[in-house]
Amino acid sequence: MSEKNKKYNITKASNLKVNESSGAVVEAEKPLSQSMLWKLQTEFFANQGPEAWIKGIVPQYITTNPYIANQYAKTVFGYLRDYVAREDVDKNTVIYIMELAAGVGRFTYTFLKRFLHMIENSSLKDIKFKYIVTDFAERNIEYWQNHSFLSPYFEAGILDCATFDISKDDEIKLRHSGEVLSQGKMKNPLILFANYTFDSLPQDTFYVNNGEIYEGVITITSPDEKGDPNDKSILAGLDYYYTDKKIDGNSYYEDKNLNDVLMHYKNSLEDTAFYMPIIGLRCISRLRKLFNDDVILISADKGYKNEESMDKNYHPFLSKHGCISMTVNFHAIELYFKALGGKTIHSIYEHENINVSLFMASNSDNDFIETSMAYNEIIESVGPDDFYIMKKAIMPLSSSLTTKELLAFLRFTVWDSRTLLELYNILIERIENEENFPKDELADAINKVWEYYFPIGEEGDLGYYFGSILGYLGYDNDALKLLESSLEFYGECPETNYEIALCYYNLQQLDKALEYTEKSIELDPDFEQGENLKNIIEDILSDN
């Protein structure tokens, strides 16, 4: 057996068991999608709630930045041009945009910002739509409902939220409006988003060799030696191996379309394993029925988009660090949509980090001309993965670029907050030392970045950093908005209260300036800057 095989604990058809782990068997020979590991995964996310994203346990930047949100908004805008041209939909009722497993809600906010900017300035401004942000974790639902940046959208009726279990739910109970979306009630199509979603859902794994297909069943063991008691990973203290079991016939799944996907791979692959995103596909099937077989799906994930990228692949390696994440077989999703008479567009180029694919199915004769045109324009230029690659290449060179060049790149990112934060130290130094520094342009850029930024309290207090710059540049009213958000999401600190006091001082609101100066001193009695400002304010007030 090759070293590659050993690394991935692979079972070949001629050898039913390979690399069995020592220790007690915790669970024996289960289809991967039915393994106990997924229950552990569910508990992990339910217990972590928003902290999984706030603490950076779960990656999110590549699928939540304003660049990708802008490209999704352009695609949906194209789809709505197709939608208004149709005669078989009720344009007087709401069309729903639904996000699966939305986590902390950052993409939700950024998408709405970009999408509303487009639609409110177009001939489509009268379309009735509602964005539904969903997750199975109750703590995430509560977080969205209590987030001050999302509140205006809830109140306006263009945003609602729901607890939605991707593995089983077939109706959607909206929390804010109380409405229940159930089969037979829906009159319009569904626009569905799934970003970094299918990779964390239960999947099955199969192996094809010599014209036969085998299911890869997984056995979970508990090794004899004790693991790290502080390890909170899904697989902490556990090991696993696969066993191949031959499948006879063509009725493995309950759905003919799913079985047809298996048979396709049986006839086309050789000495290769492939994965089936079965829970994701079943969810799509239920949502299709709910929305009258009229769905488009945009999904971003690490994934395979063709058979060539799966060649000589093996059963999935499950990382023992953090949560379980598997590569997504977008090609299988394409085959599923094709069987429905649907259409798929993948990214053109091979990508390093994520693949973004568009899947379309309709019970009408909709040919998705405008949708396809909008999406093709995106993938033929600089897509979300290209953007990430470019950013990684440009940022190490940032100190050698002029300020004008840095601000031009910031505009290219569609006002990405992380990019501006990474440029913070360079810009601070140049404000002081650079002749003809473009102060007004920087202030405008900061306000644009803040417009699309969704604070969650993660490392890097952007409200404080950017608010301080705006105050220094003389934009005190703008600075106050950012600094007050800093207090909301990061809590009280002497430095932030002092910066707020300075803004009020510059605005000649001395009573407010004194109030925040005293707060800064209460938080740190040795805070010298606060004490100095307090003395100045008290001297002015006493003279009056």
- Segment 88-116, tens digit of pLDDT: 888 899 999 999 999 999 999 999 999 99
The yes-or-no verdict on residue 1 having pLDDT over 50 is no
**Strand 24-31 versus strand 295-301 pairing type:** unpaired
Residue 17 DSSP code: B
CA distances from 412 to 22, 70, 416 (A): 53, 11, 9
In a 13 Å sphere around the CA of 469, the CA atoms on its Cβ side amount to: 28
Q: How confident is the model at residue 322 (pLDDT cuts 50, 70, 90)?
A: confident
pLDDT given for residue 16 in this prediction: 38
Q: Using pLDDT thresholds of 50, 70 and 90, give the confidence band for residue 86.
A: very high
Q: Which two tokens stand for residue 433?
A: 């030392």
The rounded distance, in Å, linking the Cα atoms of 307 and 272 is: 10
Is residue 5 pLDDT above 60, yes or no? no
Per DSSP, 299 falls in state E
pLDDT above 80 (res 220)? yes
Given this model, what pLDDT does residue 513 score?
Answer: 97
E strand or H helix that includes residue 529: helix 528-543
Give SS3 for 442.
helix
- Selection from 187, 149, 200 nearest residue 488 by Cα: 149
Residue pair 394/367 in contact by the 8 Å Cβ criterion: no
pTM, full prediction: 0.92
Tell me what the mean pLDDT of segment 524-536 comes to.
95
Q: Which two tokens stand for residue 319?
A: 């990382």
Q: What is the 3-state secondary structure (H, E, C) of 99-112?
A: ECCCCCCHHHHHHH
Mean pLDDT of 173-178: 97
Does residue 10 register a pLDDT over 80? no
Q: What is the CATH number of domain 388-543?
A: 1.25.40.10
Q: Where does the pLDDT of residue 230 fall: very low under 50, low under 70, confident under 90, or very high at 90 and above? A: low
Q: How far apart are CA 407 and CA 401, in angstroms?
A: 10
Q: Radius of gyration (Cα) for the chain, nearest Å?
A: 27
Question: pLDDT above 90 covers what percent of the chain?
Answer: 83
pLDDT at 480 over 90: yes
Cα–Cα dist 132/116, whole Å: 15
- pLDDT bin (cut points 50, 70, 90) of residue 11 is very low
What is the residue-averaged pLDDT of the chain?
92
DSSP summary character for residue 353: S
pLDDT recorded at residue 511 = 96
Q: Does 320 have pLDDT greater than 90? A: no
Question: Residue 234's beta-bridge partner residues?
Answer: none
Q: Is 57 exposed, middle or buried (0-12, 13-18, 19+ CB in 10 A)?
A: middle
What is the average pLDDT across 509-517? 97
pLDDT bin (cut points 50, 70, 90) of residue 19 is: low
For position 6, what pLDDT does the model report? 27
SS (H, E, C) 202-265: CCEEEEEECCEEEEEEEEEEECCCCCCCCCCCCCCCCEEEEEEEECCCCCCCCCHHHHHHHHHH
Structure tokens at 470: 């705006």
**Which pLDDT score is estimated for 232?**
64
Going by C-alpha positions, the residue among 498, 505, 488, 485 that lies closest to residue 524 is 498
Mean pLDDT of 313-323: 83
Query: Looking at the predicted structure, is the pLDDT value of residue 222 above 70?
Result: yes
Average pLDDT, integer, range 75-98: 95
Predicted pLDDT at 258: 97
